[in-house]
């Protein structure tokens, strides 16, 4: 957007007769050529450029921008007058402001309503899929329990260290691992479930936020 704006300013200032054909090609094919890939979207972009990038836009006073009279190019003025002009526009634009049919508003409202309902449904507690089925929480708990059963029993770091380095078994060096340093590679099901549950809630929250945005 910024590149296209700078390009328009440069062409309007540098040429006595603005080369609109070259300007439209640079914007549609160079600036947006790699971003707008759908053929229908490219046609819409070309239609907008053909409508607004023309000699009449700079020569006709209050050149209309849509079939709604309020949307037009304002008279020359300072920043404040242009801000005041923009504030006269409605907060919610009608489809005609973008050259679209009135029914386009219906499709937009249906899409927004569907997104809202999907988001609300995603925030609800998960119910069982069928009679006798398991909830997602129960499924995750079963997986955590199965993983826990595959973990070996408790072991002591000190005993492992001494078995590898017998000469340090009677050492009084406090920097060495001793009986006080006991490590465990086995946890209770609750301890395994807690980080999994936290991660699960975090992922569900992010999915809900993605629907909202």
pLDDT score of 179: 44
Structure tokens at 161: 């260290």
Structure tokens at 40: 């229908």
**44-58, 96-110, 161-175, range with the lowest pLDDT:** 161-175
Please say if the pLDDT value at position 169 is more than 80.
Answer: no
pLDDT score of 80: 92
Q: Are 28 and 47 in contact (CB under 8 A)?
A: no
- Residue 95 sits in the same domain as residue 177: no
Mark residue 99 as left, alpha or beta (left: phi above 0; alpha: psi -120 to 50; beta: remaining).
left
The answer to whether position 176 is within a domain reads yes
Identify which has the larger pLDDT, 163 or 42: 42
C-alpha–C-alpha distance, residues 158 and 162, integer Å: 6
Domain boundary among 116, 149, 166: 116
pLDDT score of 185: 47
Structure tokens at 52: 């607004």
- Size of the chain in residues: 213
Per the DSSP assignment, residues forming a β-bridge with 72 are 64
pLDDT score of 40: 87
Identify which has the larger pLDDT, 159 or 71: 71
Identify which has the larger pLDDT, 125 or 151: 151
pLDDT score of 81: 92
pTM: predicted TM-score of the whole model, two decimal places: 0.47
The answer to whether position 27 is within a domain reads yes
The answer to whether position 165 is within a domain reads yes
The answer to whether position 127 is within a domain reads no
The answer to whether position 36 is within a domain reads yes
Q: Are 89 and 70 in contact (CB under 8 A)?
A: yes
Whole-number mean pLDDT of the chain?
76
C-alpha–C-alpha distance, residues 163 and 8, integer Å: 78
- Residue 20 sits in the same domain as residue 107: yes
Number of domains in the chain: 2
The answer to whether position 121 is within a domain reads no
57-86 residue pLDDT tens: 888 899 998 888 899 999 888 999 999 998
């Amino acid at each position: 957007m910024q590149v296209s704006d700078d390009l328009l300013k440069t062409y309007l200032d540098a040429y006595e007769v603005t080369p609109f054909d070259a300007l439209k090609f640079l914007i549609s094919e160079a600036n947006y050529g790699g971003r707008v890939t759908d053929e229908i979207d490219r046609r819409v972009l070309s239609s907008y450029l053909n409508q607004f990038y023309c000699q009449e836009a700079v020569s006709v006073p209050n050149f209309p921008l849509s079939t709604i009279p309020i949307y037009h190019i304002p008279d020359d003025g300072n920043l404040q007058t242009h801000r005041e002009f923009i504030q006269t526009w409605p907060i919610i634009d009608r489809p005609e402001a973008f050259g679209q049919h009135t029914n386009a508003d219906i499709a937009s409202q249906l899409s927004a309503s569907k997104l809202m309902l999907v988001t609300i449904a995603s925030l609800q507690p998960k119910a069982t899929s069928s009679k006798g089925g398991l909830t997602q929480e129960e499924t995750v708990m079963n997986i955590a329990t199965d993983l826990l059963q595959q973990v070996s029993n408790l072991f002591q770091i000190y005993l492992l260290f001494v078995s590898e380095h017998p000469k340090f078994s009677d050492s009084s060096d406090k920097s060495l691992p001793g009986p006080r340093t006991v490590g465990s590679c086995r946890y209770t099901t609750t301890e395994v479930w807690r980080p999994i549950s936290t991660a699960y809630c975090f992922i569900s929250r992010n999915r809900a936020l993605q629907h909202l945005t």
